[in-house]
Each structure stands twice: as C-alpha cells, then as structure tokens.
Amino acid sequence: MQHTDLFDSRDLRCKTPYGAVPSGTTVQLTLRPYRTSAFSRAILTARFESRPRDEVVHIFLPWTGLDGDRDLFSGALPTEDYVGLVWYSFRLESLHGEVVELGPYQLTVYDGTERVPDWFGAGCTYQIFPDRFRRTAIPDPTGMVGGRSVHTSWEEEPEYRPNEYGEIRNRDFFGGSLQGVREKLPYLHGLGVDTLYFCPIFEAPENHRYGTGDYETIDPMLGDNASFSALCLAAHALGMRIIVDGVFNHTGFVSRYFNGDGFYPQPGASQSMESPYFSWYNFHRWPEEYDSWWGIYSLPNINEDDPSYRDYIIQGENSIIRRWLRAGADGWRLDVADELPDSFVHQLHQAVRETKANAVIIGEVWEDGSTKEAYGVRRKHILGRHCDGLMNYPFRNGLVAFLLGEDAEVFRETMETLRENYPFFAFYSAMNFLGTHDTPRILTILGVGSECKDQSKDWRAGFRMNEEQYALGKARLKLGAVVLFAFPGSPMIYYGDEAGLEGFEDPFNRRTFPWGREDKELTAWYTALGRARRELAPLRRGDLRWLQAQGRVLAFSRTLGGETVAAAVNSGDSMQVLRLERPSRDVLSGEVFGGAVPLPPMCGRLLVLEK
C-alpha cells in the first residue's frame, strides 16, 4: 500500500538519487511520518529478485531527527554489484501498537558502465514501410521470390481478402523502392527528420517482409545491396541516419534457410536434415510439424540458442549484424524483442558496439520495459548492454487516451512511472510515436475512435471519414504532435501521418503515400514542429518539468542551459489559461505573451520563454 504522506519515492527528501540507479549506488531512504503518530520503530525490507532465491534483506531505520512536525527515520540501501529490480517495503510501528506497512516500491538497478549513444533520442525519426512510400517505376516481379503481383495504380487498395484457401498471403506489392526514398531525402530532411527507420528491407516473399527470405540480400524490388549503401551515403551527407529492422525470432517458410516451397536451390531445413540450417528450427515431426510464430506456419520460429545461428547473425566476422552496419546502417530495431533470449540480445549489443561504436539498438516492447516478463522471465531490455531504447507504446496509448477524453493527469502519471522506472538513457532514447505499421492510422482513431470496430473488412476498406470526422481527427492530431515533438525521446512519424493518410488496421494502415494529394496544412504543422525540434536545444535533451496536467490541459517544459521551451495543449471545448513565470513566444503561431498564455479550445502551443 502506498502512503505518500509518509513516503514518496519521487520526493528527494524521501529517496535519493531519483529513479533508477546504476549498480554500486547506495540509495538513501527516509520515512517522514507526522510526530503526532508516535512511531518509534521503522524497518526496511528489500527483495533483490535477480539474486538466488529472491534474496531478502532487512535494514533497521533509526530515528534521525525532525523536519518541522515530522519525524525522520533514515537508512541506506546498498546495491553493490547487483543489476536488476529491487522491491522494497517499509514497516512502521508506533508506541500505541499501531503498525503501518508501505510498499512495495520498485527500484531499477542497471549497469551504468557503458556510454549509450545519445543522438537517437535527440532527433526526429521517420518510419518507412518500404513497399508503400514511393516508387520510381512499376517493377516486373518475374523471377522474384513469393509469386508476387504488382498493383499498376499507386492509388489502389491493398489486398485484404483471403484466397481460396482462406489465407491472406500479402503477396501484392506496389513497388516502393530505396531509390524512391533516396529521391525524397530532401523532403524528409525538410520535415525535420534526423533518422529513417525502415521496416524490413531484406528479400522476403511478403510485402511486409517480416518473414525473411535472405538476410544477406536487399529485396530486389527495393533495389540491391549497392542501392542500400548509396541511400545511406546520401542520408549521411544530409546529417541523417538509418535504422534497419532485424527480424531474428523467425524466418519465412519461403526462405533460403527453411525453403518450404523449394524456391532456393540449396536444400533448406524442411528438405534435408543435412541442411546447415536444420538445427535452427524446432521440429516436432519433420518436416510437417515445427514451432512457428503465434502458430503461423509461414513464420517458422528460430532456435536462437543454436551456435551456428548466433554465429551467422551476430558473432561471425561477416555476420548479418556486422555486415549491414558496415554497409551504412546506423542501428538495428529488434522485432519482437521479448521473444529473443536476453543472452542473444546481449551478444548482439556487443557485436554492434564492436562494429560501429555509435550505433543503437531499439527494441520492440509494448509495455513498461523495466517490468516486462516473457515466458516467465523478467527481461533485461534496459538494464544496460542490451537495448539502448524501446518503442514507447505506453506513451502512445496514454497520449491517444488523453486526446480522446481521458484526464491529463493519467497521462502524466503514466509517464512519471516510466521516468522513475527507466534508466536515464532509456527514457531519453525511447522511440515515441502516435502510430506504427501495427496500429490503425492515428488520424482515423482520433476522428472516429472505436465506433467502427464491429464493421466488416469490406466496409473498413471503403471507409473514408466525412468532413466533420476528418476535421476532428486532424485537430486532435495536431495537438498530439505538439506533445510528441516536445517530449523526451525521439518523436517518430509513421510515413503518411503528416500527409493525412487514414485507415483502420493492417493492411489499411499500410496504404501508399499520397504524393500530390497531401494535406498541406498538416504537413506544414509537422514541418514547423520538426524545425523546432532540430533548432531548439531544450527539446532535444532538456529536462522535463510538468506545468499543468489536469482535465483537458496538458503542459510541460524542457530546460537546458538556461533555455526553456514549454508545450501546452488544450483538448477541451472551453478557454483555458496557462500561467508562466516569464513572457514567451509561440513558435507555431508567432504570438507573444506575458505571464498568462491563453489556450483556446483545441489549441496547441510551443512556447519559448524569455531568458
């Protein structure tokens, strides 16, 4: 049970240092009960869950003095060489026989011996679904893996109906290419983008390419290996970096490794027990029965503990991790990171640092990464020397809920929980977003909410918001974008969100970019925010302070080196006022204010305070 009147883990009078701590830190803890409660004895109990048998220690907290009308009971909790979570609780006993128990509270102890690259969290990221961003010509799929078809019109709807066998095969392509991205680098740079994150680009039979066919080869519809290096060089010349998607939990049924349909000339695991890839997979009855991702036969699971697989992906001198970093990539995003063993991620981290010291590893995790459990094991994602940052779904879910009507305090509390639980590097290197290839388009969510969830796929394919719905979704999205670009962590734009793309879940969230049909007002809004993120140092690495989080108003500031920028949004239907200690200028509207900043209904501001 929590008693913030006795102990508040976020109050430096009760706990120092704040939040997560590096291993070796001694944490000072103080209980602050009112003297009238007549407490005479205090005991701290700490459970180190990563030590053998969940080691528990008990520490007596002596009375250490008074602070006004409060008694102080203080003590030290050493972490020594421990890395993991500590769950600590308190027991207070009074002269009258009253007993109060507080907790448990979480303390994250991480390996702080390594410098984590700080470039990722400072700048803006842009997620590209490669088949749907831009094409330069209609490709000929003849001879390509997967039996593909190509849409001749860029504006057609992605195929969403099952075939005669009841399967949605995702073999329809639009032909987006790396050259198409390269030609749009000036657009992306002008949008304020610092980092391009690509969904998988390696050869694969499906348009999403999450069932890898060949890790060594760029998919031929996207270009070739030289095309990738040329794109990286062009991006680097503009000061931009490239992160690629690593799908290492499973491969494709159609792949050079499993080779379920015999497309590749060398025997795969499904064709011969003598295949060099046979030990990569877990067969129950060869070749028909095998472990697969979520039971999907086309995505056979990998045994990541297999030595030859680890050598091929991570440890070998020319491993997949190393070769694509050498080819120009600046980091890896790990698909379904929860399903990769911690030892695998740790070795991958080592290989990345050895090959390109300033490259980053971002993990796909949908929950609080500090407490995440998978297959009965507490994960080490952000305890150091694993992931440098995580996809921040708690941010996305909390912000969407606020924009749809939830009290701002709920979002603030969700973010404060992360800030307290996460090491500094993980909080500031989070990948923040409003939408991805795995969520419905944010514009649609904010325009119609969940009211259409029971409609058919045919209905959803043809649905477009009416004028009123679109205007509401757009107004809310502009507010959400202000928060996104001002918050600690890298703001990520899912391609087309800045242009007004709408749609429900996959594949309707993966429509082609509407070149020539963009919502120019929305694009201009994102461009202004991207420019602010690039030019205003506090937005890139400043600290975080909440100014207001109540009802429909959410406001916070970022400060660095004496400069302060504040973000403020009012998602309600009545006028509100934000009071600041200094005059400010709204970089989005150009307006100048004194100490009182008016926030009309559905208004978002980015305010630079006078020094």
As a whole number of Å, the CA-based R_g of the chain is 26
Measure the CA–CA gap between 262 and 506, rounded to whole angstroms: 29
**Amino acid sitting at position 592:** V
Angle at alpha carbon of residue 290, lines to 286 and 292, rounded to 5°: 155
Is there a contact between 22 and 111 (Cβ–Cβ < 8 Å)? yes
Question: What is the 8-class DSSP label of residue 144?
Answer: -
Nearest to 539 by CA among 607, 488, 610, 582: 488
Measure the CA–CA gap between 176 and 233, rounded to whole angstroms: 19
Nearest to 328 by CA among 302, 354, 287, 356: 356
Is there a contact between 477 and 119 (Cβ–Cβ < 8 Å)? no
Nearest to 206 by CA among 131, 111, 311, 117: 131
DSSP 514-560: -TT---HHHHHHHHHHHHHHHH-HHHHH-EEEEEEEETTEEEEEEEE
Measure the CA–CA gap between 409 and 398, rounded to whole angstroms: 10
Angle at alpha carbon of residue 558, lines to 554 and 562, rounded to 5°: 140
Measure the CA–CA gap between 530 and 551, rounded to whole angstroms: 27
Measure the CA–CA gap between 395 and 138, rounded to whole angstroms: 38
Nearest to 23 by CA among 418, 353, 384: 384
Question: What is the 8-class DSSP label of residue 249?
Answer: S
E strand map for 315-371: 331-334, 360-363
Q: Which listed residue (131, 206, 245, 364) is catalytic?
A: 364
Nearest to 114 by CA among 371, 456, 404, 353: 353
Question: Is residue 335 annotated as part of the catalytic site, yes or no?
Answer: yes
Polymer length in residues for the chain: 611
Angle at alpha carbon of residue 509, lines to 506 and 514, rounded to 5°: 145
Task: Tell me which H or E stretch contains 244.
Answer: strand 241-246
Structure tokens at 235: 């991006």
Measure the CA–CA gap between 37 and 51, rounded to whole angstroms: 36
Structure tokens at 438: 């795995």
Question: Is residue 438 annotated as part of the catalytic site, yes or no?
Answer: no
Task: Tell me which H or E stretch contains 411.
Answer: helix 408-421
Q: Which listed residue (335, 497, 502, 519) is catalytic?
A: 335
Structure tokens at 152: 């001749």
**Amino acid sitting at position 566:** A
Among all residues, which ones are annotated catalytic?
Answer: 335, 364
